[in-house]
Chain A
Amino acid sequence: MRREAPQKLTDYGPLVFPAGMLITFFVVPFATMIAVSFFKRNPSGFYTPDFVFENYARFLSLFFGKVLGFSLFLAVTVAICCIVLAVPFTYLLSRAKRRTQVLWLVALLSILSLSEVIIGFAWSTLFSRTAGITNLLVMLGILDQPVALNPSFGAVLTAMTYQALPYTVLVLYPALVRLDPTLTEAARTLGASPIKSFFTVVVPALRNTIVATLIMVFIFALGSYLLPQILGRPQHWTLSVLITDQAIYQSNMPFAAAMAVFLVLVTLGLVALTVIAGRKGEAA
């Protein structure tokens, strides 16, 4: 059946409900948020309609610069850790037996769907003094007594890597499954060791995929809002935490909205970069 252009008005029927819902409950709220970001904060209540730039002007403070810098740094570090762990893993997984693949995919999906609250709780238990891994080290005689490993930067980084790793594998997976196996076979025939052929053939062939995945994981990590709160100190708070904090606890909706708009712009810029990286990948 050829796809025909809609002829009659009734041909648009199926579109009415989805379009209505998406416009009412996504486009309108989004526009409301942008509008609020220009409103004036009203300390007694919510906000008063206005058109001021003072919420955006607050970005120029040192405090905001620090939070933004730390958020970007944390997200980049998480993305790099995930890529380093996930690329070899996903490559091996895509070459494994189908049954093995399905088992791992179920496990990865289950962990990916876990609530950030649950991941935060699990790692805070693991890093705690009473139930943590340091108890294991004491049993093995490496440590004298158990210690608490959180709150700390390492705890935030570990938990965020844990959260983003399944996502990274699932983003890489389709590209790696489709990778032509004859590429590595040729390298092997010519005498390259498996590890050498992985780094000289597989990684270069996937360069654009890896760059695109890096950016997607970066965006994913940028959205983490609970783990820095549960496992870190206030200096480990990210932009997402700050937005929640301003909106809920400080009741400063205009400032929260302005930061959210800023975060959208950063994200969209990165998505554009991903698309460009993807285009180059197709051209190559």
Chain B
Amino acid sequence: MNGFLQKAYFGLIGLFLSLPIIVVAGVSVNEKQDLAFPPKGFSLGWYGEIFANVEWRNALFASITLAALSAAVALLIALPLAWFLWRRHAPWANIFQLLGIAPFTLPPVITALGLLTFWAATGFYGQPATAVISHAIFFVTLPLVTLSLGFSSIDRSLVEAAATMGADDRTIFRTVVLPLILPYLISGYAFAFVLSLNEYIVAYMTIGFTMETLPIKIFNALRYGYTPTMASVTILFVAIAATIFGLVARFGDLPKLLGAMSSKD
């Protein structure tokens, strides 16, 4: 297709994707408690409100803590599993790979409901730790996929050389493998972190009645009273996601991470 048509099509898709964000950004700078667009007046006060208002601040901290911890637990599950599957020939162990990918592939409400029945039956329902574990299981797919990709790109002869020189598995893992898969480790963590930050249904079904994460807080505000803070929080979240993925792209090979094996140019 010729250049003009291509630019026009990219432009249209870009407009479709950015339109809601532009409107929300406009709403977030309203001077008064007003969801008008174009905004009436200009004020960054609603961004300050995220930190000044105790409810929004608590929700923000809850979300960030949950995302940071659950992404770490997801990594702790994915790393040994991906290492074992790469290091050993054990076809039956692939079942765990499948189990790691299933929660993310099924409609989220299923995982959420399964975890809700489980936490209710075991008597832990409503405790903050249940959300961390639930999110870790829900998002373990992401580090698992990036790490499998990372391991498959390691030249096995490097490891063989280390083994010939007398290094045991532990030493090989620490000195050879870990430095090579570090970028994949970091991007796996980044993906899980950002998605956990934005996740609603699993968080709602596990701790929804005892705590508020930001998505839960936004949803409650949507039902019980609009405020421009919802808009400023939305823009903050878009900015966080764009920054994190921008960093992943800056320090890693994003096209490769997303499955395009050849790095061109």
Contact = CB atoms under 8 A, between A and B. Distances in A.
A and B part of one assembly: yes
Contact of B117 (A113, A230, A257): A257
A77 interface: no
Contact of B102 (A26, A110, A118): A26
Residues of A contacting B: mostly:
helix
Nearest to A114: B198
Contacts of B194: 113
A219 interface: yes
B51 interface: no
A38 interface: no
Residue from the set A117, A133, A240 with the largest chain B CB neighbour count within 10 Å? A117
B113 A257 contact: yes
A29 B125 CA distance: 13
A264 B96 contact: no
* Residues of B contacting A: mostly: helix
Contact of A15 (B80, B205, B214): B80
A219 B80 contact: no
B108 A223 contact: yes
Contact of B118 (A28, A130, A219): A28
Contacts of B208: 248
A46 B117 CA distance: 10
Max chain A C-beta neighbours (<10 A), residue from B114, B121, B133, B254: B114
Contact of A223 (B10, B38, B107, B231): B107
B114 A30 contact: yes
Contact of A125 (B20, B77, B199): B20
A121 B23 contact: no
Contact of B199 (A4, A115, A170): A115
B174 interface: no
Most buried by A among B20, B99, B136, B260: B20
Interface in A71-103: 85, 88-89, 92, 94, 97-98, 101-102
16 contacts: A1-B163, A5-B88, A5-B89, A6-B88, A15-B80, A15-B81, A22-B96, A46-B120, A92-B6, A106-B249, A113-B195, A113-B241, A118-B234, A130-B36, A162-B20, A174-B261
Interface of B: 1-2, 6, 9-10, 13-14, 16-17, 19-21, 23-24, 26-27, 35-38, 73, 76-78, 80-81, 83-84, 86-90, 93, 96, 99-100, 102-103, 105-118, 120-121, 133-134, 136-137, 140, 156-157, 159-160, 163, 194-195, 197-201, 204-205, 208, 214-216, 218-219, 222, 230-231, 234, 237-238, 241-242, 245-246, 249, 254-255, 258-265
Given A14-B83, A122-B23, 15 more contacts: A14-B87, A17-B76, A33-B117, A102-B249, A105-B258, A106-B254, A107-B242, A110-B238, A115-B198, A116-B200, A165-B13, A173-B258, A174-B260, A223-B109, A264-B110
